[in-house]
Chain A
Amino acid sequence: MRLRLALLALFLLLAVSPFAGPIRAGPAHPPHEDPKLALSRRDAYHWIAYYGEVLDLLLAQDPDAARALLEELGRSNLPLGLEDRLRRLDSSLLLAVDGIKVVQEAVEAIPGLLESNRVAEATQRFQSARVTLLDLESQIPNLSAAAAAVAEGLGATRAPPGTRQREAFEAVADRTSQLLTQYQEGLRYLDGVRDAVQALEVSLRPATLGMVVDRDSALVGEAIEVSGQLTSRDEPLPGRRVVVASSLNVSVPTTTAEDGSFRVALSVPYAYVTSFTLWTLYVPEGQDATEYQGVASAKVLVNLRFFRTSLEASWPRQAHPGKPMLVVGKLVGQGEVQLSSRRLRLLLDGRPFAEGTVDSDFQVEAVLPADALPGSHRLKVEVDPDFASSGASVENDLDLELLPTGVQVGWPRVVLAPGKLRVSGAVSSPGGALGPADIRVSLDNRSVDSQSAAGGKFASELPLPWSLALFGPHVARVVADPNEPWAASGAGEGSLFVVNLADVGLFLVAAATLVGLAMRKRMRVAVAPASTPAMPAPVRVEPHTASVPQRPLDFRSRVLGAYAEGTEAALRYTGRQMAPNVTLRGFLREARPALGGTGNAYAELTLAGEVALYSPADLSEEQAIRAEHVAHQVVEALTGGPA
């Protein structure tokens, strides 16, 4: 029994060990937790620290970054109950951001304006910056109070000194006072600017620059005439350089005439906007730099005209990568404008992939990019501007999808394993003829690759190896992967029955074994004595002939017969009864003293009887002969002759 168990365990170990795989090192547990069990926390320190950072950015005069950080803070998870306090703090900080931006722009512009003697503009900027700084200075108490209210709500003001949130709050208070200092420094700087402006105002003669535009609207590409006069205290300034500038980034320099006048033609750029502004600028140069103030004229608004082009275009909602697609459209121009030979471009997700020249009614066939991925895309059709005619574009969704690939396969209903699964078939597509496609035939985790021939036909053989798992109904699969960018991979499946010769053999062996076991059991029941250790009935032992081979079961019954014979003689000799609950050995112990010299022989006979009754081992002929011999001795000694 122990040997059988050991063999079974060994077999299981052998079966498992080569396939269980090596133990591999890796992170034991992914670091995540059940969000339902995760507690939300009010993070006082980080809230206050990040508001402190907004103040840092203001102190560093980076209002844009401060505004971005404030907007991000506004999108964060606001601590419950503190929303109003936080909004108040945000408002105070946004006022500071806007104000600092105005001051910063003024401070950056003023030196350049002073350098070009543009005293009036510098004065305007200076005044604006000063008013803003005074306003910011007055807002500091509100900012401090708002920050303190938030800190109190977060518990930072009550936190013991030295804790992170307390330190963060103290840092905010410190930065607020630094901001006040910075405002005050700004005001002192502006006082210096005012002195410089006033000095220039006194030392330089003011100049006046008038400007007239010959029309209030113009066609794109058209030349417009700009004229004017440069004077100083009603005296003309001849030979001075004046620049006509525009909001379309076009500028034209000119020189004033004897009477200080100028006249210049400016070509309106091909910008398809509704209006633009014009102004002129005089910056004193050379000796003038120490004599005259610079000046800019008032700005003049000019309306722009152009011929609007409208574009209508339509295309299929679905298309296929690498396949041509037809775009049908119409160009409509404003007024009498002829629309011909216009440049048209197609873009997929902003990437141009086709272009050509079209007239008012057009049909364009363009091949979509082969590398475009299936899914939703945006297709844009755009027409370039053409002189006075504006450009136009339309944009809409385009779903790119792959065309299905059909796979027809001929399957055998039954295959033998080990052996080969032979399949043949053809691949086709509604999109047209397919070139060689990659074919994979698979069954369970086995597969074989091949290629289809011209016309899409293919034939493959999948070897089916020696495996006990490959038995019964299975689903085999053929996957075809065409190389055309517009064709999807296709698959075909078929049910087949695998007859596994190894399994059949194993089944037969198992069946034969079971039958054999059953027959053996039946034979044992038929031949063996009753299994209860009761006193065996005497068995008449027939003399046997040595020439006839006997089976092991016969030897057992011969031994038992010999024991029964000897015991019958012992019972008679001693006059004892053998109770049903007395074992063979128990009876030997009771009877032995009375048997005298025959006791040893009877003990040997008892031992042989025990072996015959209880041992699973088969008895030999020698054992049977020996038992019969001893029984004969016992009977002879106790009865005076053989039984």
Chain B
Amino acid sequence: MALRNLLLAVALAMTALLAVVVWRYPSPGDFLSDNPSWNGMSDFIEEFHARPIKSLRDLPPAPADTMLIVVPYERFAQDELASLDSFLRRGGTLLLMDDYGYGNEVLSYLGAPVRFSGQPLLDPLYTYRNEQFPRVQNVDASVQDLADLALNHATALADVPAEATLVTSSSFSFLDLDGNGNWDPDDSRGPFPVAARQRVGDGSLVVVADPSIVINSMNVGGNYAFIKVMQGERQVLVDESHLPRDQSVDLGHAMLKAVRRGLATPIGGVGLVFAVLLPALWPILRYQGGKR
């Protein structure tokens, strides 16, 4: 009996310790605000005094002085799309950065003609590191004085109105349709628009064909300067509710948070009361059962 109790106590203590470690361990997830690694956004958050939000319900009711950054790697619910639409129409600035995620669903809902092509954009000559890191040029007057942007495994934009184009790739860039890494006659040739801006309602929709320009390791060239121009004097919010979340530590975080949320609900609360009372009432229940 004593050994079993000891084992149970050790198991509970280990579980609690593990939960604390998981809770406190910095997340390695892509684009996460508390990830100081190459693929996180901790530098960006500090540089822009940005505030991560866990839900689109946290959007301000008066968004005119707010810029929301969305990396749509998770599907959007209808009410979330409606929140984005309302945010824009009430004067907010939405910076939608995607390459192979669900950005086109958002654009379609917002009624914007622009689309993410979803094809890999390569540039063998005008690059930051190699062809997977195209350097792109600012063409709009608002960003023309900035250094070139450096992309990281990007795509291109399609159906961009000419006056909406902010940034384009070079003439050497191409969409690698056959995936062989080389330009072939069947591959579409650049220049392609990679960033565009247009008005939606009272707000401003900025579309960028690569979300990676904001990660810690891509604070190069004009990447952050470009975001600063888009930001102006606005407060930057970063939506973390649609980021990729397949990493195990993130999953652990998410589970712990779900447990915490669950315990705060009426059902969870009743369950907690039950769990507390059960050990105390157990002898009485057993005695009653024995008598029957």
**Complex Cα gap A617–B202 (Å):** 74
**Complex Cα gap A75–B287 (Å):** 87
Q: Which residues of A sit under 8 angstroms from B38, Cβ to Cβ?
A: 34-36
Q: Which residues of A sit under 8 angstroms from B254, Cβ to Cβ?
A: 20
The bracket for how many chain B residues form the interface is 35 or more
- Asked if B43 is an interface residue, CB under 8 A from chain A, the answer is no
**Complex Cα gap A237–B269 (Å):** 111
**Complex Cα gap A640–B277 (Å):** 54
| B274: contacting residue among A11, A19, A35, A469, CB under 8 A | A11
Q: Which residues of B sit under 8 angstroms from A4, Cβ to Cβ?
A: 278-279, 282
**Given A438-B62, A479-B61, are A12 and B259 also a contact pair (CB < 8 Å)?**
yes
Q: Which residues of A sit under 8 angstroms from B279, Cβ to Cβ?
A: 4, 513, 517
**Given A33-B132, A35-B152, are A502 and B258 also a contact pair (CB < 8 Å)?**
no
**Complex Cα gap A26–B99 (Å):** 12
| CB 8 Å contact bits of A400-423 with B (1 = contact, 0 = none) | 011000000000000000000000
Binding site for B on A (CB under 8 A): 1, 4-5, 7-8, 11-12, 14-16, 18-21, 24-36, 38-41, 43, 45-47, 49-50, 68-69, 72-73, 75-77, 164, 371, 373-376, 401-402, 438, 440, 445, 449, 466-470, 479-482, 488-489, 502, 506, 509-510, 513, 516-517, 520, 552, 616-618
| CB 8 Å contact bits of B1-15 with A (1 = contact, 0 = none) | 100100010000000
Quick check: A35 and B100 within 8 Å, CB to CB?
Answer: no
Quick check: B258 and A20 within 8 Å, CB to CB?
Answer: yes
Quick check: A489 and B267 within 8 Å, CB to CB?
Answer: no
Binding site for A on B (CB under 8 A): 1, 4, 8, 30-31, 38-39, 55, 57-58, 60-65, 71, 73-75, 90, 93, 99-102, 120, 124-133, 150, 152-153, 170-172, 182-183, 202, 204, 211-212, 215, 217-218, 220, 232-234, 244, 246, 254-255, 258-269, 271-280, 282-283, 287, 290
**Given A31-B153, A43-B131, A520-B283, are A506 and B269 also a contact pair (CB < 8 Å)?**
yes
Q: How far is the CB of B100 from chain A (nearest CB, A)?
A: 5
**Complex Cα gap A35–B57 (Å):** 35
Write the chain B residue with the least CB distance to A69: B171
Q: How far is the CB of B183 from chain A (nearest CB, A)?
A: 7
Which of A4, A26, A401 gathers most chain B CB within 10 Å? A26
**Complex Cα gap A150–B131 (Å):** 20
| A26: contacting residue among B57, B120, B244, B290, CB under 8 A | B244
**Given A26-B75, A374-B65, A506-B276, are A468 and B269 also a contact pair (CB < 8 Å)?**
yes
Quick check: B101 and A469 within 8 Å, CB to CB?
Answer: no
Q: How far is the CB of A553 from chain B (nearest CB, A)?
A: 12
Q: How far is the CB of A308 from chain B (nearest CB, A)?
A: 28
Quick check: A489 and B73 within 8 Å, CB to CB?
Answer: no
Quick check: A76 and B125 within 8 Å, CB to CB?
Answer: yes
**Complex Cα gap A617–B63 (Å):** 66
Quick check: B220 and A35 within 8 Å, CB to CB?
Answer: yes
Q: Which residues of A sit under 8 angstroms from B99, Cβ to Cβ?
A: 30-31
Write the chain B residue with the least CB distance to A481: B62
Q: How far is the CB of B157 from chain A (nearest CB, A)?
A: 17
Quick check: B271 and A35 within 8 Å, CB to CB?
Answer: no
Q: Which residues of B sit under 8 angstroms from A21, Cβ to Cβ?
A: 258
Q: How far is the CB of B78 from chain A (nearest CB, A)?
A: 14
Write the chain A residue with the least CB distance to B204: A373
| B74: contacting residue among A12, A24, A375, A513, CB under 8 A | A24
Q: Which residues of A sit under 8 angstroms from B261, Cβ to Cβ?
A: 19, 469
Write the chain A residue with the least CB distance to B210: A32
Q: Which residues of A sit under 8 angstroms from B127, Cβ to Cβ?
A: 40, 76-77
Quick check: A506 and B272 within 8 Å, CB to CB?
Answer: yes
Quick check: A19 and B265 within 8 Å, CB to CB?
Answer: yes
**Complex Cα gap A453–B280 (Å):** 55
**Complex Cα gap A34–B57 (Å):** 33
Q: Which residues of B sit under 8 angstroms from A552, Cβ to Cβ?
A: 287
Which of A25, A45, A374, A470 gathers most chain B CB within 10 Å? A374
